[in-house]
Amino acid sequence: MEEKVIDNELISVIVPIYNVEKYLEKCVNSILKQTYINLEIILVDDGSPDRCPEICDKLAITDDRIIVIHQQNGGLSKARNAGIDAAKGAYLVFVDSDDTVEYELIEKLYKCLKKYNCKMAACGRKYVFEDGKILCKVPEGIDTVYEFEDAIKEMNTFRLFDMSAWAKIYAKELFSTIRFPEGKLSEDYFVMYKLIDLAHKVGYISEPLYNYLQRTSSISRNKKINHDFIEAAQTQMDYLDDKYPDLKQVSHTAFASANLTVYDFYIKNGVKCSKGNKEKFRKNVQDNIEYIDSNINISMAKKIQFKLFMKSYLLYNIVFKLYRKMRRV
């Protein structure tokens, strides 16, 4: 039995919910069993057409820490924003409704905040497949604090943490002027660099305390080709170029990478990419190739990937598909 930790500071856990009746109770139960108990758990039913509204209401009866919001379907950002608006806690944690968290997630993230005197902290994550396979991409044993520039570099290289809203804790004050953009995919990417800027530094614990379920469809994953990812990278590049020109290499490499990622979406989903889009992606990579070539924070394999994309779409497609067969994610 895990020892329960009581603290005076209330933490709000926001769970956006849509069409996840198969996973919802397991998700919420993992939050209810947290060793840090001074929580309010905000379940935001985003107009879910399945049994989720009923499940939310039943769960609320079992624990008075649960608050349920029912709203018309508006997407992930609108659901998260509704949770932020309703939150009374000094800190916020986001959990996607098909994922689960280890019982010490909130306690350890909170202690990390206090240890490093920061307003934001992140932890390691596991990729969990429905067949039971678990993949942990993040090396353990690296507990530290990243100042702003290093945190931005880490986020954009996807090594220890990325721009996902989950697997992190935030001082609520960081959201005083920030909300997730409604009607956009990659909503986390549009705001994460701004949150890190406001926080100034990010605490990090490498223990994988967040379990990210890999399934074919979820509230944050669908078959739409996500061009918003490029727009988010563009807004980050413009923001950082303006405020922090020393980070141009990071922001321009990230923008080029976003174009490659979106092209990869086409291949993964078996959707034909138009000649116009291909040319746009290639131009965006070419315009930033000097930043890629000189960037010591990206691997040689990644640099070869860029070169291959510039050389031949056909060859790139073949290599990409072969690589996909060798990996699960």
Q: Are 70 and 57 in contact (CB under 8 A)?
A: no
Domain boundaries, the chain: 11-214, 228-325
Task: Locate 196 and state its tokens.
Answer: 């890190």
CA distances from 139 to 66, 108, 115, 125, 155 (A): 34, 17, 21, 10, 15
Residue 65's nearest CA partner among 100, 134, 15 is: 15
Helix (H, G, I), strand (E, B) or coil at 44: strand
Give residue 110's pLDDT. 98
Residue 15's nearest CA partner among 27, 7, 26 is: 27
What does the alpha-carbon distance between residue 261 and residue 255 come to, in Å, rounded to a whole number?
10
What does the alpha-carbon distance between residue 57 and residue 65 come to, in Å, rounded to a whole number?
12
Which regions of 30-183 does DSSP assign to beta strands (E)?
Answer: 39-46, 66-71, 91-94, 100-101, 120-129, 134-136, 144-147, 168-171
Q: Can you give the pLDDT of all 329 residues of the chain as single tens digits?
A: 456 665 689 999 999 999 999 999 999 999 999 999 999 999 999 999 999 999 999 999 999 999 999 999 999 999 999 999 999 999 999 999 999 999 999 999 999 999 999 999 999 999 898 877 888 866 666 799 999 999 999 999 888 888 999 999 999 999 999 999 999 999 999 999 999 999 999 999 999 999 999 876 544 444 568 899 999 999 999 999 999 999 999 999 999 999 999 999 999 888 999 999 999 999 999 999 999 999 988 889 889 999 999 999 999 998 888 877 676 54
- Residue recorded with tokens 């072969």: 322
Task: Locate 64 and state its tokens.
Answer: 């008075």
String of DSSP letters for 59-94: HHHH-TTEEEEEE----HHHHHHHHHHH--SSEEEE
Say if domain 11-214 classifies as CATH 3.30.360.10.
no
String of DSSP letters for 121-139: EEEEEEEEETTS-EEE-S-
Residue 67: strand pairing partners:
42
Q: What is the reported pTM?
A: 0.92
Residue 121's nearest CA partner among 68, 90, 166, 73 is: 166
Give residue 50's pLDDT. 97
Task: Locate 190 and state its tokens.
Answer: 């549009």
Length of the chain: 329
Residue 257's nearest CA partner among 160, 113, 104, 155 is: 155
Q: Are 240 and 251 in contact (CB under 8 A)?
A: yes
CA distances from 121 to 21, 98, 158, 242 (A): 30, 22, 15, 25
Residue 139 exposure: Cα atoms within 13 Å on the Cβ side: 3
What does the alpha-carbon distance between residue 240 and residue 250 come to, in Å, rounded to a whole number?
9
